[in-house]
Structure 1
Amino acid sequence: MSIHCCYCGGRWPENGSYNRQSFLRHDVPSIPHSKNFIFSIPLPSSRFSLGFKLHCLPYSTTPAPKNQDGASFLSILKILKSKQAQDFPDETIDSLVSVLSPKMQTILLKKQKDWRKSLYLFRRMKFAKDYSPNPIHYNIILRSLGKAQRWDELRLCWIEMAKDGVLPTNNTYATLIDVYGKAGLVKEALLWLRHMKSRGLFPDEVTINTAVQVLKDSGQFDLGERLFKGWCDGKVELDCLDLSYDGSTDSSVFSSKHFLLTELFKSGGRAPVSQIASGLARDPQKPRRAATYNTLIDLYGKAGRLKDASNAFLQMLQSGVVPDILTFNTMISICCSHGHLLEAESLLGKMEERRVHPDTKTFNIFMTYHASNEDAENVLKCYRKMKESGLHPDVASFRIILQILCERKMISEVEGVIEEIMELGSIVDEQLLPVVMKMYINEGFLDKAFIFFEKHFYSGDVSSKNCAAIIDLYAEKGFWKEAEEIFLAKRKLGSKKDIVEYNVMIKAYGKGKLYEKALDLFEIMRRTGPWPDDCTYNSLIQMLSGGDLPDKASEFLSQMRKSGFMPRCESFCAVLASYCRSGFLSKGVQIYKEMMACGVEPNELVYGSLVDAFAESGRIDEALEYYNIMEKSGMKANRIVLTSLIKAYGKVGCWKEAQELYGKMKKLKDGPDAIASNCLINLYAGLGMVNEAKLIFDDLIRNCQADEVSYATMMYLYKSMGMLDEATDIAQKVEQSGFLTNCASYNNVMASYAVNGKLKECGELLHKMLTQKILPDASTFKILFTILKKGGFPSEAIIQLESSYIEGKPFARQAVVTSLFSVVGLHSFAQHLCEVLVNDGVKLESFACNAAIGAYGTAGEVDKALNVYMRMQDDGLRPDLVTYVHLAGCYGKAGMIEGLNRIYGLLKYGKIDPAESLYKALICAYEEAGRDDLAALVDQEMRFSFQNDEQICDD
Structure 2
Amino acid sequence: MAPNPPCRPAAGAGAAVSRSGAPPVSGSRSGSLPSPSSAASRLHLPRLPSPPPLSCSGTAFLTPAASELHPSDEALAAMSPREQTALLSRQRHWRRARDLFDRLRALPGYASNPFHYSVLLRHLARARRWAELRGAWLGMPLPPTNPAYAALADALAKAGMARESILLLHHMRARGVAPDEVSMNTFVRVLKDERRYANALALFSNWCDGRFEVDFLDLDCSAVDSDGPMQFLLAEIRDGKFSAAGGASDLDGVPRKPKLVATYNTIIDLYGKAGRLKDALDMFVEMPANGVTPDTYTFNTLVNVFGLSSNIGQAGALFASMLVRGINPDIKTYNVMMTLFASIANLEDVLTYYHQIGKTGLCADSVSYRIVLQALCERKMVQDVEDIIEGILNSGSSVCEQSLPVVMKMYVDLGLLDEANAFFERHCRGKGVSSKNFAAILNTFAEKGLWEEAEHVFYSERDGNKDIVEYNVMVKVYGRAKQYDSVSSLIESMKESEAVDLFNEMKTSAVEPNIVVYGLLIDMFAEIGNLKKALYYSNLMEESGISPNKIVLTSLIKAYGKVDCWKEAQELYSRMKNMDGGPDIIASNALLNLYANLGMVTKSKEIFDSLRRNSRADDVSHTTMIYLYKSVGLLTESIKIAHDLHKSGLLSDHASYNAVLASYLAEGSLRDYTELVQQMVAANIPLDAATLGMIFSLLKKGHVSKEEILQLESAYNDERNSVKQAIVALLFSVAGLHAAALDICEQLLRSERTIDPCACNVCFKVYASCGKIEKAFSLFMRMNDLGLKLDTVTCIDLTTCYRKHGMSERLRTNGVLEYRNGRLIMPSHNAVAAFIETRSDVAIQLVKK
- Matched-pair contact (CA < 8 Å) for 2:626–2:638: no
Which residue in the other structure is 2:167 paired with? 191
CA-to-partner distance for each residue in 1:713-747, whole Å, 9 max, x for gaps? 7968xxxxxxxxxx9xx999899889996797579
Matched, 1:433 2:404: yes
CA-to-partner distance for each residue in 1:205-242, whole Å, 9 max, x for gaps? 11111121122221122222221121111111222211
CA-to-partner distance for each residue in 1:584-606, whole Å, 9 max, x for gaps? x9999888777766766565436
Letter of the 2:465 partner, please give it. Answer: K
Which residue in the other structure is 2:68 paired with? 74
Letter of the 2:352 partner, please give it. Answer: K
- Matched-pair contact (CA < 8 Å) for 2:593–2:624: no
- Matched-pair contact (CA < 8 Å) for 1:195–1:265: no
- Matched-pair contact (CA < 8 Å) for 1:509–1:518: yes
Which residue in the other structure is 2:786 paired with? none
Secondary structure at the aligned position of 2:694 is classed as coil
Which residue in the other structure is 1:121 paired with? 100
Matched, 1:316 2:260: no
Alignment map for 1:516-527 (pairs within 5 Å) = none
- Matched-pair contact (CA < 8 Å) for 1:711–1:734: no
Matched, 1:139 2:139: no
Which residue in the other structure is 1:670 paired with? 614
CA-to-partner distance for each residue in 1:266-298, whole Å, 9 max, x for gaps? 599x9997x974544242211122221111111
- Matched-pair contact (CA < 8 Å) for 1:290–1:324: yes
Matched, 1:368 2:347: no
CA-to-partner distance for each residue in 1:615-655, whole Å, 9 max, x for gaps? x78x98x888888888899997886799799999998x9x9
Alignment map for 1:328-339 (pairs within 5 Å) = 328-339=299-310
Letter of the 1:533 partner, please give it. Answer: E
Secondary structure at the aligned position of 2:212 is classed as coil
CA separation in 2, counterparts of 1:648 and 1:412? Answer: 44
CA separation in 1, counterparts of 2:629 and 2:326? Answer: 71
CA separation in 2, counterparts of 1:522 and 1:310? Answer: 56
CA separation in 2, counterparts of 1:308 and 1:416? Answer: 43
CA-to-partner distance for each residue in 1:690-727, whole Å, 9 max, x for gaps? xxxxxxxxxxxxxx9995866997968xxxxxxxxxx9
CA-to-partner distance for each residue in 1:132-190, whole Å, 9 max, x for gaps? 432121111111122233333322210111xxx23422222221222233334334323
Which residue in the other structure is 1:497 paired with? 465
Summarize the Cα distance change of 1:122–1:468 in structure 2 as closer, same or farther, 3 Å threshold.
farther
Letter of the 1:160 partner, please give it. Answer: G
Per-residue deviation, 1:453? 4.6
Matched, 1:201 2:177: yes
- Matched-pair contact (CA < 8 Å) for 2:626–2:659: no
Secondary structure at the aligned position of 1:568 is classed as helix
Which residue in the other structure is 1:152 paired with? 131
Identity in percent: 34
CA separation in 2, counterparts of 1:639 and 1:532? Answer: 33
- Matched-pair contact (CA < 8 Å) for 1:359–1:391: yes
- Matched-pair contact (CA < 8 Å) for 2:178–2:251: yes
Alignment map for 1:544-559 (pairs within 5 Å) = none
Deviates most, 603-612 or 388-397: 603-612
CA separation in 2, counterparts of 1:332 and 1:178? Answer: 25
CA separation in 2, counterparts of 1:587 and 1:350? Answer: 65
Q: Which of residues 498, 514, 521 in structure 2 aligns to 1:533?
A: 498
Q: Which of residues 228, 242, 247 in structure 1 aligns to 2:204?
A: 228
CA-to-partner distance for each residue in 1:354-377, whole Å, 9 max, x for gaps? 221222221111111111111111
Letter of the 2:694 partner, please give it. Answer: I
CA separation in 2, counterparts of 1:139 and 1:339? Answer: 41
- Matched-pair contact (CA < 8 Å) for 1:146–1:154: yes
Greater relative contact order (Cα < 8 A, sep 6+) = 2
Which residue in the other structure is 2:841 paired with? none
CA separation in 2, counterparts of 1:668 and 1:261? Answer: 63
CA separation in 1, counterparts of 2:333 and 2:313? Answer: 15
Summarize the Cα distance change of 1:606–1:242 in structure 2 as closer, same or farther, 3 Å threshold.
closer
Alignment map for 1:297-312 (pairs within 5 Å) = 297-312=268-283
Letter of the 1:76 partner, please give it. Answer: H
Per-residue deviation, 1:106? 2.8
Per-residue deviation, 1:382? 0.7
Summarize the Cα distance change of 1:234–1:333 in structure 2 as closer, same or farther, 3 Å threshold.
same
Which residue in the other structure is 2:518 paired with? 568
Matched, 1:352 2:328: no
Q: Which of residues 215, 218, 241 in structure 2 aligns to 1:242?
A: 218
Secondary structure at the aligned position of 1:416 is classed as helix
Summarize the Cα distance change of 1:742–1:405 in structure 2 as closer, same or farther, 3 Å threshold.
closer
Secondary structure at the aligned position of 1:374 is classed as coil
Q: Which TM-score applies when normalising by structure 2?
A: 0.59
CA separation in 1, counterparts of 2:73 and 2:100? Answer: 9
Summarize the Cα distance change of 1:363–1:737 in structure 2 as closer, same or farther, 3 Å threshold.
closer
Which residue in the other structure is 2:754 paired with? none
- Matched-pair contact (CA < 8 Å) for 1:743–1:775: no
Secondary structure at the aligned position of 1:774 is classed as helix
- Matched-pair contact (CA < 8 Å) for 1:427–1:460: no
CA separation in 1, counterparts of 2:75 and 2:186? Answer: 36
Alignment map for 1:791-940 (pairs within 5 Å) = 870=821
Aligned pairs, number: 630
Alignment map for 1:343-422 (pairs within 5 Å) = 343-422=314-393
Matched, 1:774 2:774: no
Summarize the Cα distance change of 1:157–1:509 in structure 2 as closer, same or farther, 3 Å threshold.
farther
- Matched-pair contact (CA < 8 Å) for 1:202–1:280: yes
CA-to-partner distance for each residue in 1:896-919, whole Å, 9 max, x for gaps? xxxxxxxxxxxxxxxxxxxxxxxx
CA separation in 2, counterparts of 1:664 and 1:736? Answer: 16
Letter of the 1:262 partner, please give it. Answer: A
CA-to-partner distance for each residue in 1:294-319, whole Å, 9 max, x for gaps? 11111111111111111111222322
CA separation in 2, counterparts of 1:279 and 1:677? Answer: 69
Q: Which of residues 546, 554, 557 in structure 2 aligns to 1:605?
A: 554
Summarize the Cα distance change of 1:287–1:571 in structure 2 as closer, same or farther, 3 Å threshold.
closer
CA-to-partner distance for each residue in 1:422-478, whole Å, 9 max, x for gaps? 444433323323333333344444554455455555997544544454455455556
- Matched-pair contact (CA < 8 Å) for 1:187–1:242: no
Secondary structure at the aligned position of 1:240 is classed as helix
CA separation in 1, counterparts of 2:93 and 2:582? Answer: 61
RMSD: 5.9
Per-residue deviation, 1:199? 3.0
- Matched-pair contact (CA < 8 Å) for 1:573–1:606: yes
Summarize the Cα distance change of 1:442–1:105 in structure 2 as closer, same or farther, 3 Å threshold.
same
Letter of the 2:300 partner, please give it. Answer: N
Summarize the Cα distance change of 1:731–1:267 in structure 2 as closer, same or farther, 3 Å threshold.
closer
Letter of the 2:384 partner, please give it. Answer: E
